[in-house]
Amino acid sequence: NPKTDGPCPACWDATFDLESQRELLLDLAKKSILDKLHLSQRPTLSRPVSRGALKTALQRLRGRRRETLLEHDQRQEEYEIISFADTGLSSINQTRLEFHFSGRTTGGVEVQQTRFMFFVQFPPNATQTMNIRVLVLRPYDTNLTLTSQYLLQVDASGWHQLLLGPEAQAACSQGHLTLELVLESQAAHSSLILGGFSHRPFVAAQVRVEGKHRVRRR
């Protein structure tokens, strides 16, 4: 603070030895990063993701940058979250996927877009079309009320993307998204690969910090 009469903070080299200065800078760097990420301490990984899944997810998302560049200050308020699925209750033709969001995601933020990515593989030499119904269920509801559903026609093996609607965005904002995948065709359930190594389904959420009132001095 140049306005105070104390010593200028940039002139510390006269009073700190190199090692103390280094320790101080490292502490400052750690504190600065944690503060800006709104974390009180570094996260402890409770559900580590395999490197294969991570690599695949990032490859899928790469190149999907938005075409229009946002204003500089607006871009600074945005971030993206990739949440990998936990598989819940499943049966022969349906699979339930759970996605957890917390911390910065809940409260004071707005989920702008939610994309669901999943991998499908048909058996070799099979040519068939599979209908997948994706159900968005109300979070933390014991009866799992349906809020919306999407019908997808899948006719090729590979990664598929589904843009989810406002109900899913609201669920992400509340910290928990539940999807249920229902196969409507006769295709064997095993054709839908879920959770295997690098083919784990995930949700990519584009999030923006909200509630910042801009005050302009005139």
Handedness of CA 35, 36, 39, 45 (dihedral sign): negative
162, exposed or middle or buried, with CB in 10 Å at 0-12, 13-18, 19+? middle
Q: What is the DSSP letter of 186?
A: S
Q: Is 96 in contact with 133 (CB distance < 8 Å)? A: no
Pick from 217, 200, 208: nearest CA to 99? 200
Among 20, 23, 29, 166, binds another protein (CB under 8 A): 29
Within 31-70, the residues that bind another protein by CB under 8 A are: 32-33, 36-37, 42-49, 54, 57
The distance from CA 59 to its chain's CA centroid, rounded to whole angstroms, is 15
Closest to another protein by CB, 119 vs 122, is 119
20 lies in the site for another protein, by CB under 8 A: no
214 lies in the site for another protein, by CB under 8 A: no
Rama region for 123: left / alpha / beta (φ>0; ψ in -120 to 50; rest): beta
76 lies in the site for another protein, by CB under 8 A: yes
Name residue 167's amino acid. Answer: E
The residue range among 71-79, 111-119, 159-167, 193-201 that interacts with another protein, by the rule CB under 8 A, is 71-79
Smallest distance, another protein to C-beta of residue 19, A: 14
158 lies in the site for another protein, by CB under 8 A: no
81 lies in the site for another protein, by CB under 8 A: yes
Residue for token digits 């301490």?
41
- CA–CA gap between residue 77 and residue 72 (Å, rounded): 9
8 lies in the site for another protein, by CB under 8 A: yes
Closest to another protein by CB, 54 vs 182, is 54
Query: Which residues are at the interface with another protein (CB under 8 A)?
Result: 2-3, 5, 8-13, 25-26, 28-30, 32-33, 36-37, 42-49, 54, 57, 75-76, 78-84, 100-104
